[in-house]
Structure formats: C-alpha cells, structure tokens
Structure 1
Amino acid sequence: MYRVWNFLTNYSLLLIIGALTALVWANIDADSYHYFVEYTLWDHAPIGHAHDGHRTLTLHYLVNDVLMAFFFGIAAKEVWEAVVLKDGSLRGKKAATPLFATLGGMLGPIAIYLGMASLFGSTTYDAVANGWAIPTATDIAFSYLVGRLVFGAGHPAVRFLLLLAIADDAAGLIILAIFYPSGELALEWLVMSFAAAAIVFVLANWLPRRLDRHKQDRPNSTWVRRRLGVLPYAIAGCFSWYGFMASGLHPSLGLLPIVATIPHADRAFGIFADAEKYLTDLLNRIEHGLKNPVEIILFFFGLLNAGVEFGSIGDATCLVLAGLLVGKPLGIFVMGWIAARPLGLGIPEGMRIVDLVVIGCVAAIGFTVSLFFASAAFDPGPTQDAAKMGALFSFAAAVLALVSGKLLRVQKHPG
C-alpha cells in the first residue's frame, strides 16, 4: 500500500486537492469562485483571450492555455519515445492489439454519446454535440494507479493499459488540435512554430553532432549541452507556443513541435519507469525537471476547472458518463477481441480476453483530460458545467473496475 500511496502523492495528490477545493468553493460561494477563475491579470496583453480587437490575460487562460502546455509536452514526450525509439512501446506487432483497443475506446464513447444525445431530441443534440470528444479521454495517471490496484503491478494487463493510455493521449492531442481550435484559424502562423523547431534542431542538435564526426570527445556537442543546456529549446518553445496561439489552434499544444527536436535516449523504458531517472539525455532531464512544477500546475488546473455546482448536473453529465462507463469498456473489449482473435494479432501472455473488459473499466476514468476537453468544447455556462460534472463523476469507473475485477476473477500479479 505504501508504493500505491507514494505513486498517488507523486503524480495526482495536488490535482485531487485542487479539484476538491474547487468543488467546495463553487458550492459555497459561486460568485467569488468564478471571479477568481476569470480574474484579469493583464488587459491589452500580447497573449490571452481575443475580444474587441485586443487580448486579455486571465488566470484561467494562464493555466489552461499557457502552463498546461508543459503537461501536454510531457505527454508528447512519452508518445514520441514510444513511437520513434527502437524499444518504443507503440512499435511493432506488440502494439497492434492495444492500438485496436484504443480505437474502440474512442469510437465506443463517441457512438454512445452522440447516439444517446440524438434520442434526447434535436435541441439537446445541438447543445451538446460538440462535446463528443470528452468521453474519449483516459486519465493516464489515475488509470495506471487503479490498474495496479486491480491487476497487481506485475500483470501484463497493466502494460497493455499503459500502451492503450499512451495511444489515447496521442489521439487526444490530434483531436484537440483539429476539432477544438481556440479562435479563428490562421494556419499561416504555424510556419513560425515549425520554423522554430527546425532552426533549434539544426543549430543545437544536428550541427554540433555533424561537427563532431570522428571526434570521440565530441567537443561541440558537449559545449552546447553544458553551456546552453535547455535555453535554445526554451526560446524555440516560446516562438512555437506563440505560433499556435496566433494560428487559432489550442496553444496548450504549442510545445509539441519542439519536443521532437530535443536530444533523447536511444531506448524507452516506458512511462512512469523508475529507470528513466538515471538517463542523462536532455529530454529526460527536462521531463524530470518539470515534474514538480507540473504537479503545481495540475493543482491550479483542478482548482480553476473543477469548480462546478452540484445543481449543474444535466444532460451532458449523463452523456459523458454513459460514454465513459459504457462506451469505453464496450469499445475496448469489442475492438480488442477483433484484433486478438479474428485478426490473429493475439494478446500478451498471461492475459485473458475477458481482462479487456476490466481494462476498459479502468480506462473509463477521464478526469484530467476530460475536464480539459469540456473547457475546450463548450463556452462557460450550464452545458460546460454539466459536462465537467460527468468528467468528475468518471471516478466511478474505479469502483466499476474493482467490482468487475472481482466478478471476472482477475488474478493479481505482484510486481
């Protein structure tokens, strides 16, 4: 139990505290809570919400659009390594069934969400349809925690769950970029983002290595690493973020082009792997350097996004919950079964087909990313609050996973 609690404190405790504080505050004094959330830090600012010909930087914008870029940058780092490194978890046949299951874990919730919304009538459908992506999300940290509780740290289903969650994160980033722009699209600004990525890659990564050919002591690469460190990538990140903001795409994704340019390890140990703390490549050093700041950012994310009044429960709450609690397990099981059996791609040794149902229940915890999608999908108001309530209530999936694990006689594998 100590190891479980240690994991919780490392990755999730501040987020939970922020969310609970927001819930209590919003239900005691909603006016002061919303005043705090939308507090203006800088009017006529160079960044922020655009309106009436100028931008306003609010506390909510600072956290959701600026600081959360570091959270999504860390998620992108895990996805990038899983895809490009030799031992990456999303490479080769071993990733095929989890990728099919991920597809099911997105199509299932979308079908349930939009199908049920259509049954509620055209007025309700029009009001909630843009939130179709909210139940596709999987909160990777909480799902990993619950998966370990249900299966045990050594069960192959836990690794399967992580592969699924990483792929889900990748798909979520694509959905956020394509379907939830933050303003009018001006995609020519993306030239700034990708130019910044190309320039920093050439000057701080490719060129020093090119100059160091046939030199065992690698003087140029060493000088860049020791003297400049993260600075070139931080500067490029600022330009890339601004390019995303000006383009109309969600600026929280602004660091993604830069992540791929940072020198990284030649192998991936997997997300949450203790072994990564001993790697000295710049990408891993940046990730571990950001760990504590991102925990604080997640506290403020929970504080500024989870403050919904209990009276705001509505149609969107039911739809988000149905998509997560019904659509996720159903989609993951069906598509996972198709991949493993008819397509012959198989599942990891020691794992049963029926375990896909339990994995689906674990993956139904949407929380962090579902909250973010709810904020991006709807303007502030009753529909957004109702959708957020569904994201918060998705913690019920943890109970569902524990119960289904007992009923389906999951055998725990200690780590």
Structure 2
Amino acid sequence: MYRIWNFITQYSLLLVGGALAALIWANMAPDSYHHLVHLPLWIDAPIGLIEQHDGQPMRVLTLHFLINDVLMALFFAMAAKEVWEAVILKDGSLRGRRALTPLIATLGGMAGPVLVYLTLAASLGILAEVGRGWAIPTATDIAFSYLVGRIVFGARHPAIGFLLLLAIADDAGGLAILAVFYPTGDVVPLWLLVSLAAAAGVWLLANWLPRWLDGDDPARGWSTRARRVLAAWPYIIAGCISWYAFYRAGLHPALGLLPIIPAIPHAERDFGVFAADEAGATDLLNRMEHALKLPVQFVLLAFGLMNAGVEFSAISAPTWLVLAGLVIGKPLGITLFGWFAANVLRLGLPEGMVLRDLPVVGLVAAIGFTVALFVAAVAFPSGPVQDAAKMGALFSLGSAVLAIAAGRMMRITRQG
C-alpha cells in the first residue's frame, strides 16, 4: 500500500484525478461545477479579485483565487527550489559545459512551440484573438515527463538526465515568462522592493547573522540555536510578506515565494530531481520541501479540479494551436537546437546518447499539462478561448503515447 501511495504522490497522479473529475463534472453538471469554482469564501476581503457586490466594487476571495493564486505558490516554490539547486550548487546539473547542450535544446523547446502557435494562428486569421496564449505550449511538466521518460528510455539511460536538465531549465524560463509577460494588473515596482527586502532581511537575520556570530566555533552554537528555536518560521513570515508584495505589485502572486528560496540554508550538494537521498537531508531547504511534498500533491489535486473543468463543446482552434505547439513545435525545436549544439557548436551529447534520441526527448517534453493549464488560466479571461486553450493543455498528455511509439520506431534501447 505504501508503494502505491508513494507512486501516486511522486508522479502527481492526484492532479490527473482532479483533472478527470473536473472534466466529468463540467460536462455532466456545468452549472454546479462553475458555481463551485467561483464560490466566494470572503466578501470584502484584503486579498482577491475585485467584483461588484450590492453595486459596490469589493475584493472577493473565491475558491479559485485561493487555489490558483495562493496555494499554487507552494508548487512553484518547489519548482524554483530545483532550479536554484541546479544553478547555484557546485555539482548543480545546470552548471558547466555539460549543461550547455540541454540548455540550448531548451531554447529550441521554447521557441519552436511559440513559432508554431503564432504561425498557425496568423494563417487562420485569429492572431489578434488568441495571440496572448503564445506561452502556453512552452511548458513542460517535470513529473509526468520524468515518468514517461523512464518508461521510454529506462531509469539509467543518459537521455533521462538530459530530459530533466531540459525540463528544469524550461520551468525556469516559464517562471520568467509568467512574471514578465503576464502581470495581473498595473505593475507597481515599489512593492517588488518589499519582496526583495523580505528576502534580504531573512537571509541576513536568520542565515548569515548566526553563522557570523559563530565565527570559528566548531560547535556552531548560534546556528544550532537558531535552527532549533526559530526553525522555518522566519522564512514562512518572509514568504507571506513576499507573496503579498507580488500581489500588490501586479505580478502573479503564485510566484511570490520565489525570492525567498535563495535565502533558505541549503547543503552544498544537489541530490537531483526526485532523488530519494533528499529525504534524509538535514538542511532547512530540503526539510521544508519534504514537509510540503504531500500538501502540494493535494494542492495539485484541487488545482486540477478548479482548472480542468472544460466542456468538450469548447474544443476549437485554440485547442489545436496549443496542442500543435507542444507536439510539433517542441520536438522540432529540441531536435534542431540540440543537433546544432551537439554538431555545429561541437558541444556533444551525454555519453551513450545519440541524435535519434532527441526527437523522442522532445515528444516526452511536450507534456505541458500542469504549467500549461496554469498559463492558459492566466493568459485568457474566463470564457470559450480559455476553455479551448485548457483543453489543448489536457490533450498534451497524449504526447506520452506518441513518445512511447516513437521510442519503439527509433529502436531506443531501455537501460535500467
């Protein structure tokens, strides 16, 4: 039973369950489903969306806002933690020459979908209507891509490491796109200074100061006391301040915890994405991640339930634009840019990996799902265009079947 539950939580199948439940509910009883999604939890709240109530504009905290804008911040914080480790640590996977080929392939994996999406939209004459959705097919779902990649290549194939590097870099790019191109209102830069001040303050007071007070003391008394007495609370408080600052700044508040991640103490070692060894790590950042792992799975369940409830009648041009961007643009971009990096720039591929692996990796990375759903909800207002784009994100799960079939056609030898 434990292994089954671990499998479900590890690979976000709770998210799939929420999405399937939402699809069934929205198509069988759409009125009750949409009533739940927009259920007001707190009228005249300090946070939320401005809506008209009794003829007056008021901030309303709805169930949808609570999940998408507040609780999903925990999911993006966990994604940012993996990116931060990969970039900053000495043995981080996104450091050095070995990361150059997958990083360049990532650029192709983001540019290809955008090019396909916008080209098709322009050719159909609907660019003005759906142009804001260009970023939706740039996403890669790390958990599902990792699961499908292991099915196609096996756990020990070098393409798995390549895929994870690509997915992490893709998520980093996706976070940047959300912050820059999809503000939730007029951007107020002054509030961003509040977020940066919270991150700098907690790093100085709870991280740097105890170590400075310890000096050369091998017992590290101040650091030990701070860790025992304060634990994660300074970072939780700083995170709340940073989230509110993003909300007031006009940036999407789900990204509000990102500035705090670098301030949290971390061991000088990167165990890797989904590494079991991290469960025994004693540094605060890894302990916080593992404490959040189970709650975040239920956040993803709720996210799927709140966002995947699309009626099949909503399928239209944006559905196929998103899907084409993912299943055509992403494999094409990854293959071309990966080939260019490996052959023209002579950076090479990981030992044991060959060029015919690249299009298969591209098809695996075309599973956008979680982040694609999130971007669709941000890119378009509620309505038929958003629903159609979300359906494209849901259909991207079908890329798993294409990847498995391509792996057999390319005669990929599973390793491990």
Matched residue SS, 1:331: helix
Q: Indicate if the aligned counterparts of 1:139 and 1:369 stay in contact, CA closer than 8 A.
A: yes
Aligned to 2:374: 372
Q: Of 382, 389, 392, which aligns to 1:390?
A: 392
Name the residue aligned to 1:105.
Answer: 109
* Uncovered stretches (5+) of structure 2, i.e. residues with no partner: none
**Runs ≥4 in structure 1, deviation > 6 angstroms?**
2-5
| AA in 1 matched with 2:79 | A
What amino acid maps onto 1:18 in structure 2?
G
- The superposition leaves residues 164-204 of structure 1 with CA deviations (integer Å, 9 ceiling, x where unpaired) of 00000100000000001111211211111111111100000
For 2:58 and 2:24, the matched residues in 1 are separated by 34
Deviation at 1:412, TM superposition (A): 0.4
> What is the CA–CA distance in structure 1 between the aligned matches of 2:3 and 2:345, rounded to whole Å?
38
Instruction: Give the conservation status (yes or no) of the 8 Å contact 1:113–1:132.
Output: yes
TM alignment of 1:116-127, pairs within 5 A = 116-121=120-125, 124-127=126-129
Q: Does 1:46 align with 2:46?
A: yes
Question: Over residues 61-85 of structure 1, what are the superposed CA-to-partner deviations in whole Å (9 max), with x where a residue is unaligned?
Answer: 0000000000000000000010000
- Give the match for residue 29 of structure 1: 29
Task: Judge conservation of contact 1:7–1:145 (CA < 8 Å) in 2.
Answer: no
Whole-angstrom distance in 2 between the partners of 1:240 and 1:3: 37
Q: Distance in 1 between matches of 2:10 and 2:365?
A: 20
- Of 5-14 and 367-376, more deviation after overlay is shown by 5-14
Q: Are the counterparts in 1 of residues 159 and 353 from structure 2 also a CA contact under 8 Å?
A: yes
How far does the alpha carbon of each residue in 1:264-303 deviate from its partner, in whole angstroms, 9 at most, with x for none? 0101011101111111000000000000100010000000
Normalising by structure 1, we get a TM-score of: 0.97
- Matched with 1:64 is 68
CA deviations 1:23-69 (Å, max 9, x no partner) are 00000011110110010001111111134653211000000000000
Q: Which residue of 301, 318, 321 maps to 1:319? A: 321
Is 1:151 matched up with 2:153? yes
1:396 to partner: Cα distance: 1.1
Superposed, 1:91-240 pairs within 5 Å as: 91-121=95-125, 124-240=126-242
From 349, 356, 372, give the equivalent of 2:358.
356
Distance 1:102 1:28, change over 3 A: same
Contact 1:237 1:254 in 2 (8 A): yes
Distance in 1 (CA, whole Å) between partners of 2:3 and 2:61 is 40
User: Once the 2 structures are TM-superposed, how far is the Cα of residue 160 of structure 1 from its aligned partner?
Assistant: 0.4
SS at match of 1:50: strand
| 1:71 to 1:286, Cα distance in 2 relative to 1, 3 A | same
Q: Please state if 1:14 is matched with 2:14.
A: yes
In the other structure, the counterpart of 2:405 is 403
The question of whether the paired residues in 2 share the 8 Å contact of 1:19 and 1:306 is answered with yes
> In structure 1, the residue corresponding to 2:44 is in which secondary structure?
strand
Displacement, 1:378? 0.2
Does the 8 A contact of 1:4 with 1:145 survive in 2? no
Secondary structure at the counterpart of residue 45 of structure 1: coil
CA distance in 1, matches of 2:36, 2:298: 17
Is 1:83 the counterpart of 2:87? The answer is: yes
Question: Partners of 2:290 and 2:130 in 1: how far apart?
Answer: 38
Asked whether the 8 Å contact 1:102–1:168 carries over to 2, the reply is yes
1:313-359, Cα deviation, whole Å (9 max, x unpaired): 01100100000000000000000000000000000000011100000
Q: TM-score, normalised by structure 2?
A: 0.97
Partner of 1:271: helix, strand, or coil?
coil
Task: Summarize the Cα distance change of 1:7–1:101 in structure 2 as closer, same or farther, 3 Å threshold.
Answer: farther
Which consecutive residues of structure 1, in runs of 5 or more, have no partner in the other structure? none
- Separation of aligned partners in 2, 1:380 and 1:412: 43
Read off the aligned partner of 2:119 and give its amino acid letter.
G
Matched letter for residue 130 of structure 2: V
1:73 is aligned to 77
Pick the aligned partner of 1:305 from 296, 304, 307: 307
| C-alpha RMSD of matched pairs (Å) | 1.2
Q: Please list the CA deviations of residues 98-120 of structure 1 after superposition, one character each: whole Å capped at 9, or x if unmatched.
A: 00110000000000000000001
Q: Secondary structure at the match of 1:265?
A: coil
Output the amino acid matched with 2:355: I
Measured after TM superposition, the shift of residue 10 of structure 1 is 2.6
Tell me whether 80-89 or 50-59 shows the greater mean CA deviation.
50-59
Shift of 1:6: 4.8
CA distance in 2, matches of 1:55, 1:271: 39
Deviation, structure 1 residue 12:
1.2
* Secondary structure class of the residue paired with 1:54: strand
What is the rounded CA distance, in whole Å, between the counterparts of 1:48 and 1:259 in structure 2? 24
CA contact 1:362–1:398 (8 Å) conserved in 2: yes
Structure 1 residue matching 2:263: 3-state secondary structure: coil
Identify the residue that residue 412 of structure 1 maps to in structure 2: 414
Count the aligned residue pairs: 411
Kept in 2: contact 1:11–1:295 (CA 8 A): no
Tell me what 2:264 maps to.
262
Structure 2: distance between partners of 1:220 and 1:306 = 48
The 1:168/1:4 distance shift into structure 2, 3 A limit, reads: farther
